[in-house]
Structure 1
């Protein structure tokens, strides 16, 4: 029986894909979808270097995916090296990298596997104007937040957008936000001012982003979450440890993100069945009616690859998932 789109996704998003033929995979459907979901670089590497003989994939599919992989490697290096040069000498500040810029080399065996489309930085509100002005000295100019990301400022040099976030947990949770800064770990490669969130905080900040986007996010983000919750076993780095489940659930409750965490973990379990035992332990307890509602309205439709339908009642859903 030929592999489904979901099975093809699971195989080609693995860091240890099983060897075998994918000749009968739904390539016409998969390739465009994988590119749109940020999955093409990792898929291309698996086909070319891990699965032997390209897993019998058609040459046109391999060529298209490989071109995306090569472009991702070059683009990531350009963006991250340029950002490093800008912030390397900054002292006396504390800023946290989030998203792809924090994950590409911490969760993925090769920095090119995880496209970094933009750079997300979390700062204290009092530091936003100063850092935006500093970036302005390096040709970064203000831009509109086209993604409705909730960033306090967005600046770009025409190649890379930098999203500056503050008060991400809301103005009433400054003590909790201070805890995120206090627990953060240095990213010394970027100089003395750049840090990244600790593991449990990284999971919850990612869930917060999912919730604010109504879970209409690229599937690459679920690969990020898979690696976070399973302890980045391929890397031996900052995120390579088991989750502290009690701390995760306690913070989720304090941040009013229990429903978002439940939903995100449930999607990861559906997409990657091998995570089931970890997800079951980490998933926050919710009322049965709430679980059934989230499963029906979010988990099931989002877990269907190729489903382009916008979830109904997206604004109401965002409020539900972010505890508003």
Structure 2
């Protein structure tokens, strides 16, 4: 039986892909979609080095390989440049979120996880000071309105840096203060740079997914898969089992139980190997709420391809994020 688009995604996004022929995979549909979803570098590595071709057509391998080569070079350039910028910063606490935090902690090679931008989280009182520091290192504020709820967006012409604050909402300052207190140092970037603790990282990914209405690259679900699994391919800060009791308590305190339930449910559908770990981590929601989220979000978001925007999606986002 020919692999479906979902089968192809699962195989080529795995860190330990099963061997077999992908000759009949839907390459015409997969390649462009995988590139758009940020999945091409990992897929290319699997095809070239883990599955020796897997009978994939040469044109597909060539396109994916070109993206992989570019991703490696681009990531190294961006992260080295960011390190040089941050090395001198002292007396502040800057948390790194998203791809810049995950590329070296969840993925066996930094090139597997494209880093399109660098997401930072600071205390509200540090937004202007940190932005001013970045401006001294040739990162200039962009004229357009910052995207994705960021307070600021600066760029040196190559790397956008998003500066976030109050990501949990103005009424949950105590909870955000604890996120900073639990954060783990990223010493390679200097004394002021940190990354969130594991359970906080899971919830922050779920929060981002919910705020984007699950209209975001599927690479985010690969991130969440590895966080749920405890980064078994690595030996770093996220390489441990989730503390489910802590995760559920923080989700309740942050009012993210619906978002956590939705994001974990999507991950379990996409990656069956996570199901046994996801089940105990699902917050206890009312049956009617579970069925609504399953129908409106989980099922559509688990189908390869662009999830269509739903009527009332802004209301749904508020429901998911407790706003």
Which TM-score band (shorter chain)? over 0.9
Structure 1 segments of 4+ aligned residues over 2 angstroms from their partners: 144-148
What is the SS of the residue equivalent to 1:203? Answer: helix
**How far 1:148 moved relative to its partner?**
3.1
Q: Secondary structure at the match of 2:73?
A: helix
In structure 2, the gaps of 5 or more residues are none
Q: Which residue does 1:106 correspond to in 2?
A: 105
Indicate if the aligned counterparts of 2:230 and 2:238 stay in contact, CA closer than 8 A. Answer: yes
Contact 2:251/2:260 (8 A) holds in 1: yes
TM-score (norm 1): 0.98
Partner of 1:107, secondary structure, is coil
- Find the aligned partners of 2:182 and 2:81 in 1 and give their Cα distance: 27
Q: Distance in 2 between matches of 1:147 and 1:129?
A: 14
**CA distance in 1: counterparts of 2:275 and 2:145, whole angstroms:** 36
Equivalent residues of 2:215, 2:307 under 8 A apart = no
Residue in 2 that maps onto 1:263: 262
State the secondary structure of the residue aligned to 1:277: helix
- The 3 A distance-change label for structure 1 pair 303 and 101 is same
Gaps of 5+ in 1: none
- Corresponding residue number in structure 1 for 2:227: 228
The secondary structure found in structure 1 opposite 2:137 is coil
C-alpha separation between the residues in 1 aligned to 2:306 and 2:318? 23
Task: Classify 1:249/1:185 alpha carbon distance in 2 versus 1 (closer, same or farther; 3 Å).
Answer: same
Please say if residues 301 and 307 of structure 1, whose CA atoms lie closer than 8 Å, have aligned partners that are also in contact.
no
Aligned to 2:194: 195
The residue that corresponds to 2:132 in the other structure is 133
Matched, 1:2 2:2: yes
TM-score, scaled to structure 2: 0.98
1:28-47 equivalences in 2 (<5 Å): 28-47=28-47
Name the residue aligned to 1:27.
27
How far, CA to CA, are the matches of 1:301 and 1:194 in structure 2? 37
Aligned to 1:48: 48
- Taking only aligned residues, the RMSD between alpha carbons, in angstroms, comes to 1.0
- Mapped partners of 1:144, 1:294: distance in 2: 37
Q: 1:12 and 1:216 mapped to 2: Cα distance?
A: 21
The equivalent residue for 1:117 is 116
> 1: CA distance between counterparts of 2:305 and 2:121?
32
Alignment check: 8 A CA contact 1:76 1:116 kept? yes
Q: Distance in 1 between matches of 2:131 and 2:15?
A: 37
